[in-house]
Structure 1
Amino acid sequence: MDSSSESWRAFCCKQLKLARIWNTSGTNDGNQGDLISLIMVFFTVTVAYLVWLKSPGKRSASPLPPGSFGLPIIGDTISYLSAYQNMNTKIWFEEKKKKYGSLFKTSIMYQKTVFLDEPGGCKLLFGQPDEKLIAGVYSKSNRVIAGPNYSILENGEVHTTYRKYLMTQFLGPDAVGRYLPVMEQNALDHIQRYWLCREDGARVVALELLEMFTFSIAMELMLSIKDVAQVEELRSSFAVYSLGMMSTAINLPGFQFHRSLKSRTRIHNIFQKSIDKRRVELKEGLATPTQDYLSILLTQPDESGHFYTDEQIRVVLTNTIWAGSDTTAATMSMVLRAVSRHPKVYEALIEEHRQIAQNRTEGEPLSRQEVRSMKYTWAVIQETLRLTPATTDISRQAMADIHYKGYVIPKGYKLVCSAAQSMWNPEVYPDPEQFNPSRFIRTGATKSIEPFTFFAFGGSTRYCPGHEFAKLSMLTFFHHFFKNLVYTMEVPEERVLYRFMVYPEKGLPLRIQKCKLY
């Protein structure tokens, strides 16, 4: 066999491995069908390579950042995705840093990419007042699965207008504060129904239960759906829907992408019935214009006077519910994991909540002031997010040539800030592998976290709009959870992995026991 044949054979093997990594869906059902995408990759290799050679970066005489685009077409995709999914990106970055420094170029997922240094690169990415120079970027799978005309994924005025609407009408601090009674009642009901009803020593899979909790809050506040059976039916459809976010965009039977689109159709059909029913209820005075996000979307125009269409409402509800529940549940599971491994942190948490509880009557609901006083609990959540963020990388796209530190980053390149360069960097966070919530406690002797070095909720114009919503729901839940339950991890060294977002490899199985700590 000649050398060119050997090279082609090696390239084919790389493509096969890429397909396996890229199409991991978290289940065994249908994975064989997803590998058919390899055939389509082969058909496009030649044409795509020619396009790649003529893509941005070939026209500029100015120096590009150091680095290598790796193998033709696939670049560093295989090594990077393998490191990403197995929580090994820090090692991957250290190897790159030894070769090229903290600022370097590569190619990931057929996209020329520059990984930015810290803190200057993160300031570049998150310090823009608008999206004229740097804008949001999303994969084809994300855009298609999310649905047509999903404004939060758009750039410029479309994104800005909808974000203002979302923050003003539903997710702003004042609005979120009004959700506290609903969140607290959901937390109490959930803990009683799924945790306290079990015998001492019972085994639970925490991630699934936490997903049930966060999803139930989203369904009640967005659609006023409280029926447990209906909520769980929808949650199962959302579970299939979400897997499409990191799948190959091939809409054929047997592929995860196809299954996710079918689930989206089921979700949209259910939501359309809710829309039709709510219109009647509003007309007859059986519902109010502000009782939930569905009513708001039907009765309140945006700043330009535009009322959202039924299709837009279905898309908005689907993605707001998904984004507001999955990532929060994943973070909560990581908090329980971290607290279990650090007894002193657990003791400090209990003491904070004991002090809050002793100042009010048993059964009295939490006040907003009491939730705001949970500063150590919030620091624990932040430190958890620093070490195990929902996603380790934040990506944007250059909308024009960018001059940075003597290099040119051409228009069209993807720009990435990574936790490995910032939140796990010993030059930014001393002893970065140590779980130390006090980093986020502001005192006279404690230095504040440097700007642009902590981006667990994103940044700039793309800062997570549900930040306050997630914060309130987590703090409320943990107050009642730690009061009534003690637990141990069944698998103390359970690994943390990533698909589209962070998750404990086995779902965080716990052994629980009822108690009354405060």
Structure 2
Amino acid sequence: MELFYPSLLGFFIVIVSLVMHLLFFSSKQKAAGKLPPGRTGLPVIGESLEFLSTGWKGHPEKFIFDRIAKYSSNVFKTNLLGSPAVVFCGSAGNKFLFSNENKLVQAWWPSSVDKVFPSSTQTSSKEEAIILRKMLPNFLKAEALHRYIGIMDGIAQRHFAADWDNKEQVVVFPLTKRYTFWLACRLFVSVEDPNHVAKFADPFGVLAAGLLSVPIDLPGTPFYRAIKASNFIRTELISIIKQRKLDLAEGKASPTQDILSHMLLTSDENGKFMQEYDVADKILGLLIGGHDTASSACASIVKYLAQLPDVYQRVYQEQVEIAKSKAPGELLNWEDIQKMKYSWCVACEVMRLAPPLQGAFREALTDFMYNGFSIPKGWKIYWSANSTHKNPEFFPDPQKFDPSRFEGSGPAPYTFVPFGGGPRMCPGKEYARLEILVFMYHLVRRFKWEMVFPDEKIVVDPMPNPEKGLPIRLFPHKA
């Protein structure tokens, strides 16, 4: 009885505490107003596994559309990655969020991001992102990128010569990652030696896969592997930073040659310069953003062009005409890129069907109302590209591949959002356009190809990637 009594008392206290908590939450909910329909799923993990598993199965839109149908609502509540969340769907939801950036909502990343980038915990990943956007030099703007097209072309030539030419079969996805990572290394930190680039290219894939995973820091989990990879890459970057400081001091490096020099030579409003560790973290974030989404898009383009010979033929004709206008050895320029109109329509249709950025999180800065529902301060908000990209209301027959959707004025505003929108529109949008088009130029002029696995599935984890890496058989064009 002496053992039973305390356990009974403890049980009673737990029950009373639970009831008080539920009463408090209920009264708070009534005071706040009516929450959107939905369910929060299991304790702590919520509906995270369902959210992630639909992507692993190749149908990321299923999580969204199942709930839109179930609740008859374009806004619903859930719990994702450890936080209560509301999902906004459709062009109206996109417009509302993009238009109220830093007013009602602000960017938010799961706790896993701050743990993978530990120096950011002194401020927060949100504040770090604001600082980084202010620091980004103008070379990410379209007019400033003109002078980098030749560099992209040169690296693309080296990439195809080393990894594609004289091969009967290649696995595409690792190669597109190698191409975009090489470009990012060259243009952001002036590293272009293939051996140096290769040294930390693979860890970047591990890092990207674990960045938005469930933050369980145990051996074998994607999150654990992401932390180890980030530490390895950061060490490599710090050695590059130390060498660059010496080169700048001795006049061997230019203050304007890349974003690394810019960061090292730019002080804040108090005249303080960033620590090497913080510079490494910011470069790390830029390299992830600068190559991972584009490599996914390039791989998806290869897949769709293999499946759609008529589309391939039109892209091929367009690129051959551009090549004919070039003198032997002459590199691509801005005028050439502007002629790739059909190729870019194809790339856009690929990104509509397989958006590299599936969506993004925001956090409510204050209580506000949307569509008659109360959104509490501090709740997380998720917008989904697929809620418009694969919605017949905005794209009739949404599963059909139709590049003409992007001719003329193109889709309605806030419906095609592979790069986000509003103040947080991806600053590298034009950079991505150039690297994708340069890739297409070299690919189609060299080869036709066929998929080794014609029905290979595209899985989302957290970006679209071919389940088997997309092996293809190459058929070089006769000279």
Check whether TM > 0.5: yes
Matched residue count = 461
Amino acid at match of 1:163: R
8 A contact 2:34–2:373 mirrored in 1: yes
User: Shift of the alpha carbon at 1:462?
Assistant: 2.0
1:127 aligns with 2:99: yes
User: Shift of the alpha carbon at 1:414?
Assistant: 1.8
Counterparts in 2 of 1:91 and 1:285: CA distance versus 1, 3 Å: closer
CA distance in 2, matches of 1:152, 1:324: 23
Amino acid at match of 1:316: K
8 A contact 1:138–1:153 mirrored in 2: no
User: Shift of the alpha carbon at 1:56?
Assistant: 11
CA distance in 1, matches of 2:333, 2:220: 50
8 A contact 1:399–1:411 mirrored in 2: yes
Q: Which of 51, 66, 83 is residue 80 of structure 1 equivalent to?
A: 51
User: Shift of the alpha carbon at 1:90?
Assistant: 3.4
CA distance in 1, matches of 2:310, 2:121: 44
* Partner residue in 1 for 2:232: 266
CA distance in 1, matches of 2:146, 2:326: 20
Structure 2, unpaired ranges of 5+: 1-16
CA distance in 1, matches of 2:147, 2:270: 26
Q: After the TM superposition, which residues 322-401 of structure 1 pair with which residues of structure 2 at under 5 Å, given as runs?
A: 322-401=288-367
8 A contact 2:60–2:460 mirrored in 1: no
Amino acid at match of 2:77: K
Amino acid at match of 2:203: S
Counterparts in 2 of 1:83 and 1:241: CA distance versus 1, 3 Å: closer
- RMSD value over aligned CA atoms? 2.7
Structure 1, unpaired ranges of 5+: 1-45
CA distance in 2, matches of 1:131, 1:218: 29
Counterparts in 2 of 1:180 and 1:152: CA distance versus 1, 3 Å: farther
Counterparts in 2 of 1:234 and 1:305: CA distance versus 1, 3 Å: same
3-state secondary structure, aligned to 2:387: coil
User: Shift of the alpha carbon at 1:252?
Assistant: 4.8
* Partner residue in 1 for 2:140: 171
CA distance in 2, matches of 1:89, 1:249: 20
Q: Which of 469, 485, 492 is residue 454 of structure 2 equivalent to?
A: 492
Q: Which of 43, 51, 66 is residue 37 of structure 2 equivalent to?
A: 66
Q: Residue by residue, what CA displacement relative to the aligned partner does 1:15-69 show, whole Å, maximum 9, x if unpaired? A: xxxxxxxxxxxxxxxxxxxxxxxxxxxxxxx99x969984996253522222333
CA distance in 1, matches of 2:447, 2:184: 24
8 A contact 2:106–2:365 mirrored in 1: yes
Q: After the TM superposition, which residues 3-22 of structure 1 pair with which residues of structure 2 at under 5 Å, given as runs?
A: none
1:479 aligns with 2:441: yes
Amino acid at match of 1:433: Q
User: Shift of the alpha carbon at 1:365?
Assistant: 1.3
CA distance in 2, matches of 1:319, 1:241: 11
Q: Which of 132, 142, 152 is residue 162 of structure 1 equivalent to?
A: 132
8 A contact 1:150–1:312 mirrored in 2: no
User: Shift of the alpha carbon at 1:301?
Assistant: 3.5
Counterparts in 2 of 1:311 and 1:186: CA distance versus 1, 3 Å: same
8 A contact 2:170–2:474 mirrored in 1: yes
Amino acid at match of 2:370: Y
User: Shift of the alpha carbon at 1:161?
Assistant: 4.1
CA distance in 1, matches of 2:156, 2:58: 31
Q: Residue by residue, what CA displacement relative to the aligned partner does 1:405-458 show, whole Å, maximum 9, x if unpaired? A: 22211112222222342110001111111111111111xxxx531111111111
* Partner residue in 1 for 2:287: 321
1:112 aligns with 2:102: no
CA distance in 2, matches of 1:94, 1:461: 27
8 A contact 1:241–1:261 mirrored in 2: yes
After TM superposition, the structure 1 stretch with the greater mean CA deviation from structure 2, 350-359 or 501-510, is 350-359
* Partner residue in 1 for 2:425: 463
User: Shift of the alpha carbon at 1:266?
Assistant: 2.2
CA distance in 1, matches of 2:373, 2:297: 37
Counterparts in 2 of 1:307 and 1:383: CA distance versus 1, 3 Å: same
Same amino acid, percent of matched pairs: 32
Amino acid at match of 1:79: E
